[in-house]
Amino acid sequence: MTSQEDLKCINTIRFLATDAIDKAKSGHPGAPLGAAPIAYTVWKYFLKHNPSNPAWFNRDRFVLSCGHASMLLYAILHLTGYDISLDDIKNFRQWDSKTPGHPEYGQTPGVEMTTGPLGAGFATAVGMAMAEKHLSAKFNINNYDIIDHHTYVLCSDGDLMEGISSEAASIAGHLGLGKLIYLYDDNNISIEGSTNLTFTEDIRKRFEAYNFQVIGPIDGNDVEEIKKSIEEAQRDTEHPSIIICKTTIGYGSPNKAGKASSHGEPLGIDETILTKKALGWETTDTFVVPEDVREAMDYRVRGEKSEKAWEMLRKIYNAEFPELSKELNRIMSNDIGDGYKAKLEALENKECATRDASGMAINAVADDIPMLMGGSADLSPSCKTNIKSASDFSKENPAGRNIHFGIREHAMGAIANGMALHGGIIPFVSTFMMFYDYMRASVRLSALMKQRVVYVYTHDSIGLGEDGPTHQPIEQLIGMRSVPNLTVIRPCDAAETISAWNYALNNTTGPTALVLSRQKLPPVEHDRKLDLVDKGAYIIKDCDGNPDALIIATGSEVSIALTAQNSLASEGIKARVISMPSWEIFEKQSDAYKEEILPSAIKNRVSIEAGSTIGWHKYVGDKGKSIGIDHFGASAPASVLYKEFGFTAEAVINAVKANL
C-alpha cells in the first residue's frame, strides 16, 4: 500500500528527475522513476539527518551506490531542505553546478560519497558501518548511545555484479554489521537488455551465504511493504540486511518502462509528458513541486530537533564521562594532536626494510593517535601493519583496531574510504604493491574525494625477488604518481619512512601511498628530522663545490646512488645525490627551491629507480639518462635481479661518465 500523500511526493521526485534530465539532454531517468518509492521511504520514514547540518556526526548515512540515479538523490535533498535550490536542479550536469552527473562528495550538501563506478558505494558503506560499530563500542557506555546510526544503501544489479560487492558483502556478513541495510533495486534490466542475458544467480542464496539477513523480494512500489521490510532489517542487529525490491526501470513511461532504453538517455519531453499523464500527474509543467509535497517533505525542523536531542545527550555524557567525551570531541574534529611526534623522533634510523620502519612508525604513534586503525588484505605479517598494543577488530570486539580484510584489496580500499568519510578514524590499509592493481578504482575514489587514507604498499620492486614478475611492480609507481591528489612517497631508509608517516598523518589534501621495500636498506647518514620528506626532494649528500652531475634516486636505489657518488669522487668527478621520495610534494615547491636542488645549468643528470622510466625525462632532461626497468621482472634472488637488470653503481657511474 502506498498512500496518496506518499505517492504525490514520490511522483514529485520522479518528475523533478525526468525534467532535469530532459533539460540537460543527458542523464539516467530509468532508476529514479523505478526506485523513487524506495529512496523516498528511507528518507521520509527512517533517515535520521539534519538538512541544516549535513556534517552532523551521528546522522544516518545514505549511500546511492547506483550513482547514475543522481537526480533521485538531488530531488530528495532539495525537497527535504538541503541547500540545493530548484535552480540547482535545473542546472543538472552543467559546469560548476551543485548537481553533477554523478553525486560528487564535497560538491553537494548531503552527498555522503562520490558514486558512479559500480560497486564502490556498496563497499564503501561497509566502511561507514564498521566505523559506526567501532566508535559505538568505544564511546557508548551505560546506555548512552552517543554513536548510534544506520547506514542505508540503494544499490542496483550492476553493483551486485561487480566483484567488489562480493568482497564487501562477505566482510560485512562476517563482521555482523547489523546496522547496515541494503535496498536492492531489482529491476531485471541492464544496459544490454534483460539481466537474464548474464545475471541469473540466486541473490537470496548468495547473500544468505554471506551471513546476511535477506528480505523479499518485495514490491518496490509499495511504501508500506518497504517500511515493514526496513523495520525487519533494523530488528536483526546481528546481520547486515539486504531487501530485494522488485521494481520497473523507467516506471510509468508508456513506451520505455521495463526497457534498457530508459536507463541512460533522457525520456525526452514528449515521453515525459506521456509519463506524467500515465501516472496521473496533475500538470505537464516542468519542475513542479506542489505545496503540500514541499511541506510534507521538508525535514529541517525535525532534523534540527534530532540533532539538538543528541547534543543534549552529549552534554550529560560530557558531565558523566569527561575523559571519554574529550576523546570523542578530539576524534570528531580529526585532531591527531602533537604527542605522537616525539615518539616518531625517538625511533632509530637503523638498517632495516622500509616496511619494517613503517611498522615501527605505526606502533610508535598508535597510542597517541587512537583514531588510527587499519590492517591488511591478509598480508599484515609481511606489510608490518599490525598494531601490537591493539586487539583485532571483530564482531565480538569492534573496539579492536587491527582489521583483517581477507584477500579482498578492492573492497579494502573502499572500506578505508568509508571509514575516513564517516569520520573519527584515520584508516591505513596494506598489501603488496603489485596488488594496487586490484584496488586502483578504490584509490582513485580516495583521491577524488580527498580522503585521508594511508595506503601502505610493500614489496615495491624487483627487490621482492623470487616471487617473480607477477609480484614485481614495474608500472605501479608511475601509475600511482599519475593519480591526481594522491601523494606517493618512496622513502630510502628508516628516517625517511618515519618522516613519510608524519607527512601522511598530516596530509588532509588526499590519500598518501607509502611505497616500501621488502629488502633491508642501509640507513643513510643525514639529518634526522620529521620533515625530511616534506619538500619531496632534497640533497641527501652533496659533493664539494659545483657538481658535475646530478644523481636523482628514490627508495632502495638511493644507496646505490651514494655508492656511485663515492666512486666518482675518487676519480675526481663531483656528483650531487638527490633523494626524491615524492614527485608530487616536490612539484608543490617554489621554483627557487627546485632550482636549488636541480640547478638548470647542470645537464648531466641520471635518475635511478627500480620502476618504469616513464616520467623521469622531466627531471633528467634531454641530455640525461634514466636507469629503470621498462619490461617485466623475473624470478630470482633480488641481488641477482638488481645486477641482471642493471641497477648497479656501475651503471650510474657509466651514465654519468658518458655524459661528461
Enter the C-alpha cell of residue 426.
Answer: 584515520
Question: Counting contacts by CB under 8 A, is residue 441 touching a copy of itself?
Answer: yes
Give the residues across from 402 on adjacent strands.
374, 392
Residues with Cβ < 8 Å from 326, sequence gap 6 or more? none
The footprint of a copy of itself on residues 621-660 (CB under 8 A) is: 621-622, 630-632, 634-637, 640-641, 644
DSSP character string of 467-509: T-GGG--SSHHHHHHTSTT-EEE--SSHHHHHHHHHHHHH--S
Interaction mask 400-439, a copy of itself, x per CB under 8 A: ----xxxxxxxx----------------------xx-xx-
- Of the two residues 423 and 468, which places its CB atom closer to a copy of itself in the complex? 468
The footprint of a copy of itself on residues 477-516 (CB under 8 A) is: 478-479, 481-485
| Residue 433 DSSP symbol | G
The footprint of a copy of itself on residues 355-374 (CB under 8 A) is: none
DSSP character string of 45-106: HT----TT-TT-TTPPEEEESSGGGHHHHHHHHHHHT-S--HHHHHTTT-TT-SS-SS--TT
The footprint of a copy of itself on residues 6-35 (CB under 8 A) is: 24, 26-27
CA distance 133 to 365: 23
Report in angstroms how near the CB of residue 273 gets to a copy of itself at its nearest.
23
- Of the two residues 288 and 640, which places its CB atom closer to a copy of itself in the complex? 640
Triad 101, 106, 109: Cα angle to 5°: 85
Sign of the four-CA dihedral 322, 134, 41, 261: positive
Which one, of 77, 79, 162, 172, lies nearest residue 395 by Cα? 172
Region class of 510: left (phi > 0), else alpha (psi between -120 and 50), else beta? left
- Of the two residues 263 and 535, which places its CB atom closer to a copy of itself in the complex? 263
3 class by beta-carbon count within 10 Å (0-12 exposed, 13-18 middle, 19+ buried): exposed
Report in angstroms how near the CB of residue 69 gets to a copy of itself at its nearest.
13
Report in angstroms how near the CB of residue 660 gets to a copy of itself at its nearest.
19
The footprint of a copy of itself on residues 264-323 (CB under 8 A) is: 264
CA distance 164 to 377: 13
Cis omega (within 30 of 0) for bond into 581: no
Question: Counting contacts by CB under 8 A, is residue 170 touching a copy of itself?
Answer: yes
DSSP character string of 539-578: EEEPPSSS-SEEEEE-GGGHHHHHHHHHHHHHTT--EEEE
Are 435 and 409 in contact, with CB atoms under 8 Å apart?
yes
Question: How many residues belong to the site for a copy of itself (CB under 8 A)?
Answer: 111
- Of the two residues 142 and 470, which places its CB atom closer to a copy of itself in the complex? 470
- Of the two residues 117 and 581, which places its CB atom closer to a copy of itself in the complex? 117
The residues that are catalytic are: 409
- Of the two residues 94 and 659, which places its CB atom closer to a copy of itself in the complex? 94
CA distance 572 to 548: 10
Question: Counting contacts by CB under 8 A, is residue 594 touching a copy of itself?
Answer: no
CA distance 110 to 99: 11
Residue selected from 283, 469, 596, 650 as contacting a copy of itself according to rule CB under 8 A: 469
Q: Which stretch binds a copy of itself (CB under 8 A): 82-90, 114-122, 273-281, 329-337?
A: 114-122
The footprint of a copy of itself on residues 128-167 (CB under 8 A) is: 157-158, 161-167
Residue selected from 142, 143, 200, 508 as contacting a copy of itself according to rule CB under 8 A: 200
The 10 Å Cβ neighbour count of residue 277 is 12
Residue selected from 80, 114, 517, 582 as contacting a copy of itself according to rule CB under 8 A: 114
Interaction mask 235-264, a copy of itself, x per CB under 8 A: -------------------------x---x
Q: Which residue has the cell 641527501?
A: 540
The footprint of a copy of itself on residues 30-89 (CB under 8 A) is: 67-68
Question: Counting contacts by CB under 8 A, is residue 197 touching a copy of itself?
Answer: yes
Residue selected from 231, 546, 618, 658 as contacting a copy of itself according to rule CB under 8 A: 618
Question: Counting contacts by CB under 8 A, is residue 205 touching a copy of itself?
Answer: yes
CA distance 74 to 418: 21
Give the residues across from 626 on adjacent strands.
607
Pairing type for strands 241-246 and 213-219 reads: parallel
- Of the two residues 53 and 482, which places its CB atom closer to a copy of itself in the complex? 482
Report in angstroms how near the CB of residue 468 gets to a copy of itself at its nearest.
4
Residue selected from 147, 289, 612, 652 as contacting a copy of itself according to rule CB under 8 A: 612
- Of the two residues 374 and 523, which places its CB atom closer to a copy of itself in the complex? 374
Question: Counting contacts by CB under 8 A, is residue 555 touching a copy of itself?
Answer: no
Question: Counting contacts by CB under 8 A, is residue 475 touching a copy of itself?
Answer: yes
- Of the two residues 50 and 582, which places its CB atom closer to a copy of itself in the complex? 582
